[in-house]
Structure 1
């Protein structure tokens, strides 16, 4: 951006966190306006149609960028997205649209959308029945139990079919997660991919290389970013996976297994750090340019 545009665009995120503040910086560079919004401090006046934060009605802004809706995924975070629909209904452009993000935060909603789009995924069982869950573990040999609301492998664990305490661990998981999401453990060979898209256009792909001894490659578990050059077929798979969600910025998590590539999930929030550290791409600046152009156009 060489000149500032007179529009007011706020960032919904976590005040003080690098990704939120960096995106706010990029938008400020293009508009001269800066506002970081903690949804935990937002009040909805439904009758008045006002979304209030620190004395400001967010429905008077030109745009909102949702970098992070909450520190952890939960049904409460879904409620925060519903609140943003009030501002959207009054003409505020929201990136990505709340209804699009809603389809991603619940792991099952994301999975069903990917399955209906024909994206290859690991064998997966969803059940509320403990015996059906145990049978899935036996059939898979080794399974990953995943909460419906979680990121970066939080709350997940691997369970082998011959574990002596398998049924007790299933019961403990079910007590916290009545709907159990059970996926066959994939052979990741120590890495998986993050494929970045901006408004449906391919940007870049980075690798997450797992720490030795860790079953997952997340940065929280010691994983590291590295560059990766995908084939055209792999990029086409990423396009196919992200297309049904209609997100402004997204990352598709893909693993290359001996049986072929599989898609784990599509993210509404992640990928900025991976793009920068793994690809050398400033996705914050790209996103800010796109949003300012959309709002001012």
Structure 2
């Protein structure tokens, strides 16, 4: 196979989607960027159509972004891609791998079962249990099960008057029936993104808060900086991403007084942090990895 046809599932016009499509086009001469919102699955014909292109006829598909924001509908889009996968299209990363990550709880349970150190976490549908968790933690971060870049996350403080805290929990549960609460840990305004390609470590960048926001995400004003981890930290991140069998990912790591903890393993990984914080051309390296696997 000299010129494989490999498409990119993403958000047309978005930098990370387009830079990956550019890298693949440069190496193969083929370009196809697909927004899953524009696809149609025809099970009778076993066709997944995007405009005039049947994605089931491509050699490969790289999922850079399955949707702008995570939601249960994201899982439906992955189910549609399973048809292309069953037709012989190589998907990066595999749909089964991503299905185990889009839901925050699924990711957390897998990490916990693997013995990976994480912040203390309580998951409940009971407002009373949620209240008890906040008091036990001192401060807790309530997180939607489907979200990216800290969207929808809320800081719950035990010092809040009881009636006000109960109201905050009720308001959060109105949009999140199953409540996921994690103990807020002191990160001194910095956390890490550790980048892996095909299970191999590439490098690390730091996200550093520039404001008084309790989180470090770029969405909330953080910036990327270089960071050099030691061998033990690299090994911890490697163990964290291993159960998910991903082609490309970023492991989110926090450094605390009690040692490193893992927040999550990304379903898709971040290109911009790798480039700006660690000088890694993740898009180019990923494109070469995908082409090699498609051709074997």
TM-score range, shorter chain: over 0.9
Aligned to 2:76: 79
Q: CA deviation at 1:157?
A: 1.1
The C-alpha deviation readout for 1:93-118, integer Å capped at 9, x for no partner, is 00000110010000000000000111
* SS of alignment partner, residue 126 of structure 1: strand
Q: CA deviation at 1:270?
A: 2.7
Q: Is the 8 A contact 1:96 1:248 kept in 2?
A: yes
Aligned to 1:253: 252
Aligned to 1:31: 28
Tell me how large the CA RMSD over aligned residues is.
0.9
CA distance in 1, matches of 2:2, 2:140: 51
Number of aligned residue pairs: give it: 294
Q: CA deviation at 1:13?
A: 0.1
Aligned to 1:64: 61
The C-alpha deviation readout for 1:30-79, integer Å capped at 9, x for no partner, is 10000000100000001211000111110000000000000000010110
Q: Structure 2: which 5+ residue stretches go unaligned? A: none
* SS of alignment partner, residue 136 of structure 2: helix
* SS of alignment partner, residue 288 of structure 1: helix
The C-alpha deviation readout for 1:119-178, integer Å capped at 9, x for no partner, is 100000000000000000000010000000001110001111121210000011111101
| Match among 6, 18, 40 for residue 9 of structure 1 | 6
In the superposition, the TM-score normalised over structure 1's length comes to: 0.98
* SS of alignment partner, residue 270 of structure 1: coil
Q: Is the 8 A contact 1:5 1:292 kept in 2?
A: no
In the superposition, the TM-score normalised over structure 2's length comes to: 0.98
Q: Is the 8 A contact 1:127 1:181 kept in 2?
A: yes
* 1:1-297 equivalent positions in 2, closer than 5 A: 5-164=2-161, 165-297=164-296
Q: CA deviation at 1:5?
A: 3.7
Q: CA deviation at 1:295?
A: 0.7
CA distance in 1, matches of 2:202, 2:135: 40
